[in-house]
């Protein structure tokens, strides 16, 4: 997205110095154009377990994933490709934090299941999404019957 700085006094000095700018002349008027970039989500590290986990019924499990993007990513969770909602047995939350000395924002997504059942066996995915793109991290969970 390209935006001309028509009202430079409304843009903080901090922002002006951090944005790429281009100068051109139109009808003898000096015009500064600021490029405001977007950055697709990326995971700075593998935050979900790499190997399949094995838990028994009635145990708890919690996952978190961290994404960096501009604008901040929204975190979605799926199980076997189906979207999960923040209703029991799932507790889903997220937090958005600025990254020091960066224009990127850090989003941390959390998924907690207090009491597992066999229906939670499968592939859990954390999907970070914003206007610039998406990134996915996944892990596998096996929940065998409690009495086997």
Q: Are strands 2-4 and 29-35 parallel, antiparallel or unpaired?
A: antiparallel
* pLDDT at res. 81: 97
Enumerate the CATH 2.60.40.10 domain ranges in the chain, comma separated. 40-142
* pLDDT at res. 30: 55
For 40-142, CATH number out of 3.40.190.10, 2.60.40.10, 3.40.50.2000, 3.30.390.50 equals 2.60.40.10
Q: How many residues are present in the chain? A: 148
Name the residue with higher pLDDT: 20 or 147: 147
Segments in 1-148 forming alpha helices (H): 13-18
Would you call 65 helix, strand, or coil by DSSP?
strand
For residue 147, which phi and psi values (nearest 5 degrees)? -100, 15
What digits encode the pLDDT tens for the residues 63-100? 999 999 999 999 999 999 999 999 999 999 999 999 99
Nearest to 6 by CA among 34, 45, 28: 34
Nearest to 124 by CA among 79, 67, 71, 63: 79
């Amino acid at each position: 997205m390209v935006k001309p700085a028509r009202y430079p006094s409304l843009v903080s000095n901090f922002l002006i110095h951090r944005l790429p700018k281009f100068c051109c002349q139109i009808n003898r008027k000096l015009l500064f154009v600021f490029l405001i970039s977007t950055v697709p989500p990326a995971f700075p590290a593998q935050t979900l377990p790499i190997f399949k986990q094995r838990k028994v019924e009635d145990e708890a499990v919690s996952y978190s994933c961290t994404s960096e993007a501009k604008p901040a990513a929204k975190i979605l969770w799926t199980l076997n490709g189906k979207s999960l909602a923040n209703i029991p047995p799932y507790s889903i939350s997220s937090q958005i934090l600025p990254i020091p000395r960066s224009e990127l924002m850090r989003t941390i997504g959390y998924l907690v299941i207090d009491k597992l059942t066999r229906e939670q066996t499968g592939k859990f995915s954390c999907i970070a999404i914003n206007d610039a793109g998406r990134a996915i991290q996944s892990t596998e969970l096996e929940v065998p019957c409690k009495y086997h």
